[in-house]
Amino acid sequence: MAAKKPPFDKILIANRGEIACRVMRTCKRLGIKTVAVYSEADADALHVRTADEAVLIGPPPSTQSYLLVDRIVEACRKTGAQAVHPGYGFLSEKQEFQEALARAGIVFIGPDAHAIHAMGDKIESKKLALAAGVSTVPGYLHAIPNAEEAVKIAREVGYPVMIKASAGGGGKGMRIAYNDEETREGFGSATNEAKASFADDRVFIEKYVEEPRHIEIQLIADGHGNCLYLWERECSIQRRHQKVIEEAPSPFLDAATRKAMGEEAVALAKAVQYKSAGTVEFIVDKNRKFYFLEMNTRLQVEHPVTELITGLDLVELMIRVAAGERLPLTQEELKLDGWAVEARLYAEDPFRNFLPSTGRLVKYREPAAGPDVRVDTGVFEGGEISMFYDPMIAKLCTYGKTRIDAIERMRRALDEFYVRGVSHNVPFLAALMAHPRFREGRLTTNFIAEEFKGGFTAAHLPPRDPALLAAVAAVVDRIKSERTGTLQDRRVVMLNREPVALEVTSSQKGYTVKVGKRKLAIETFWSPGEPLFHAKIDGQSVAVQVDAVGSGWRLINEGGQAEALVLTPRQAELYALMPVKAAPDTSKFLLSPMPGLLSSIAVAEGQDIKAGEVLAVVEAMKMENVLRAARDGTVKILHARPGDSLRVDQKIIEFA
């Protein structure tokens, strides 16, 4: 039998990073050639290396490259691309882009312009949802002119309220307000962010649903009147309205609610003659009452978890639908099999309020892929995390027959994800996977704010077994010593300067480590220089990251790290007498917590300040970060001025 002809010969991907690479994988499987577009900052990026062809479209800022419609259209003409997949973000939900491609005779792999327009404006989409019989959140669905009018409307709707950018997305231009003062401040910040991110400063107000869950329905529709809902995704684990963990299905929905939500989502899609993949997002309260939030007229970041539980390739379906094909299955034929969890790996420092981290990926190793582990990434070892774009490193997805199976596989995969050169959020993700409330499925969009009050610290990490870590350090040192012939059974491991006495002996299958009255059987094939120590310890699979640091080791497991120094008993006695160097005192300074632009300073030299008072605003990744006083004091010196570009830990204010 002759092979089926691909829907298109060549597709241009109007995006970058992991989503561009992910689309290219499907194209390659289908026998479709791919074209990458790139900015000067992405000249050596993975998506450029992966594509069959690549076209330079401008300088690093996205406003001068990835957001320029004419550059993309010209790249299509230059390369002969018949269709464009927009990924997510950038131009994926711009009706002007779809219209420009249509005029040029190029297929847009997504919905038609009228559907993008209808669903792209949060105010208009809510009006359409009401007309289609979809449940909506109470609120004021008109643009609000000023802060005082916002206060008036907020009082009428009833606190708490959500202030939202009409053209918003990705958590930008959103603020929760519980009183008049927070409404005034939130209105200003939301409009500023909306203008900077979307060139549209319109905001509206709706009732904030307390104890809410964020649950979304994945849709796929063709151009022949067929529309399916591919079950739901739970996206309640969010920080600053941006998703951190997603899973499918939701641990909260019952079959009746799932069906009702799916049917309402389909009704809304059919009301605008929707074609392609799309997602209808709902807020669900504690009684499983659901309200329409918005519709995303594109592929979602978290689409892999849906693919894992359905066995479908959403990118392939989008391509085939765009080529005029019918959907290959019906709602009744769609199966829900198992559970999937996705964690977003970001270049950010969770111990410093999740500040973005940029720089070179000095080391980068992913967990081994397989039927239960999937990694979508747009980076490689030696590549750069740029200050110009979203700092995502990868999306890590795991699958299991049950929710706990998927979570446990995620915990092991996080231990195996080896990243050096930039800060990353693996410790935070590990803490989430181990959190009892998360494991029980008791989720709301307030989960992170409630469970990590005051920010994320090492105290939030899952408890670690010091005997196990000491045993790993001892075996690592033993294997290294076997090559030099300096073996000693009795050792003392200084684990974060705390002594753990133990004995290490070789056994038939590996090593036996005696710690007090406890014996640990360790089987491993680890070799010196390998960054991952894979082992079975008392029959359980364990992965510990091992870095040589001076004459000792840094061990990383379950998101936490420990410094280990393996000594003889006499060396341990002497080591305990060594003084510990004190950390420098930075309490008299306000330091920039991230690289960014100093937007404003709210105080002057000689001014008395109170704890909680706004001191400065730093803009990074188009987000405003308000810096407040930690305690009462007096401003002594201003070390920076509005408009300055700041590096991490640069002095902004010095206090008397």
CA pair distance 421, 427, nearest whole angstrom: 15
Q: Which residues are designated catalytic?
A: 294
Cis status, amide bond into 328, omega within 30 of 0 = no
Identify the H or E element spanning 626: strand 623-628
CA pair distance 162, 176, nearest whole angstrom: 5
Nearest to 652 by CA among 610, 615, 608: 615
Q: Is 212 helix (H, G, I), strand (E, B) or coil?
A: coil
Question: Is the four-CA dihedral 472, 478, 481, 482 of positive or negative sign?
Answer: negative
Distance separating alpha carbons of residues 385 and 350, to the nearest angstrom = 17
3-state class (DSSP) for residue 571? helix
CB atoms within 10 A of CB 434: 18
- Give 578-607 as a DSSP string: SPPPPPP--TTEEE-SSSEEEEEE---TT-
Which amino acid appears at position 634 of this protein? T
Task: Write the CB contacts of 647 (distance below 8 Å, at least 6 apart in sequence).
Answer: 592, 595
Q: How far apart are CA 206 and CA 138, in angstroms?
A: 6
Cβ-Cβ contacts under 8 Å for 535 (sequence gap 6 or more): 472, 475, 510, 522, 523, 524, 526, 541, 542, 544
- Cα distance from N-terminal residue to C-terminal residue, the chain: 82
Measured from the Cβ of residue 604, the count of other Cβ atoms closer than 10 Å reads 8
Alpha-carbon distance values, 194 to 309, 446, 617, 642, 643 (Å): 35, 23, 16, 21, 20
Give the Å distances, CA to CA, from 515 to 367, 485, 519, 553, 593: 30, 23, 6, 19, 42
- CA atoms of 158 and 193, how far apart (whole Å): 24
List b or e across 533-571, with b for residues whose CB sees 16 or more CB atoms inside 10 angstroms. Answer: bebebeeeebbbbbeeeeebbebbbbbbbbebbbbeeee
Which residues, in sequence order, are CB contacts of 100 under 8 Å at separation 6+? 69, 70, 73
Query: Encoding tokens for residue 25?
Result: 């994988």
Angstrom distances, CA of residue 269 to CA of 225, 232, 266, 563 = 10, 15, 5, 55
Could you say which DSSP state residue 327 is in? P
For strands 53-58 and 33-39, give the pairing: parallel
Amino acid letter, 203: V
Are the beta carbons of 468 and 493 closer than 8 angstroms? no
Q: Which value, to the nearest 10 degrees, does the dihedral of the CA atoms of residues 419, 423, 426, 431 take?
A: 150
397-406 burial, b at 16+ Cβ within 10 Å, e below that, comes to bbbbeebebb
- Rounded to an integer, what distance in angstroms lies between the CA atom of residue 301 and that of residue 505? 49
